[in-house]
């Protein structure tokens, strides 16, 4: 079942990287400042002045999109996943294929903003390569 469509609130302002105009996220007003918000819809900073909030998004960049993530599940073990699509309408992840072009993968559509069940991989998470634990 597809995730329901969502979009950033009207008062969020999209921020793009100056050199290539790639979208990095949004700046949203809070109190007397601006909060940097990632493409996943998650806060990157607390309230800052405009230029510091822009700098926070630029420092975060987009490299995190290529990282391994973990999808926590209530009814099963956590999954090692990769981001496939991130838009204000949905987040799509797939089980990690470890670079094999012929590996079977499962794609999972999540709502946007991304739920907290999707998190960066932490040390000690199952890596998908260990067959027998000692």
Instruction: Look at the chain and report how many structural domains it folds into.
Output: 2
Distance set, CA 117 to CA 66, 71, 78, 120 (Å)? 18, 6, 9, 10
Looking at the fold, whether 77 and 34 belong to one and the same domain comes out as no
Decide: helix, strand or coil at residue 54.
helix
Same domain, yes or no: 38 and 74 = no
Task: For residue 31, tell me if it sits in a domain.
Answer: yes
Q: Is the pLDDT of residue 132 over 70?
A: no
Which of 127 and 109 is assigned the larger pLDDT? Answer: 109
pLDDT band at residue 112 using 50, 70 and 90 as cut-offs? very high
Considering only 1-10, 31-40, 63-72, 81-90, which range has the smallest mean pLDDT?
1-10
Do both 96 and 58 map to the same domain?
no
In a domain, 41, yes or no: yes
Residue 44 belongs to domain spanning: 13-62
Same domain, 32 and 44: yes
Structural domain contains residue 73: yes
| Same domain, yes or no: 100 and 69 | yes
Q: Do 57 and 73 fall into the same domain?
A: no
Residues 6 or more apart whose Cβ sits within 8 Å of residue 5: 89, 90
pTM, entire model: 0.85
Residues 75 and 107 in one domain: yes
pLDDT recorded at residue 13: 98
101 lies in some domain: yes
**Do residues 78 and 110 share a domain?**
yes
């Amino acid at each position: 079942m597809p995730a329901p469509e969502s979009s950033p609130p009207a008062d969020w302002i999209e921020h793009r990287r100056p050199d290539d105009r790639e979208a990095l996220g949004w700046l949203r007003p809070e109190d007397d400042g601006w909060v940097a918000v990632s493409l996943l819809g998650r806060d990157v900073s607390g309230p800052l002045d405009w230029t510091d909030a822009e700098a926070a998004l630029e420092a975060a960049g987009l490299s995190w999109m290529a990282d391994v993530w973990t999808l926590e599940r209530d009814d099963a073990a956590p999954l090692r996943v990769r981001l496939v699509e991130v838009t204000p309408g949905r987040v799509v992840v797939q089980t990690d294929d470890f670079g094999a072009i012929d590996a079977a993968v499962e794609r999972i559509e999540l709502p946007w903003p991304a739920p907290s069940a999707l998190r960066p991989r932490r040390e000690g998470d199952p890596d998908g390569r260990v067959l027998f634990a000692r």
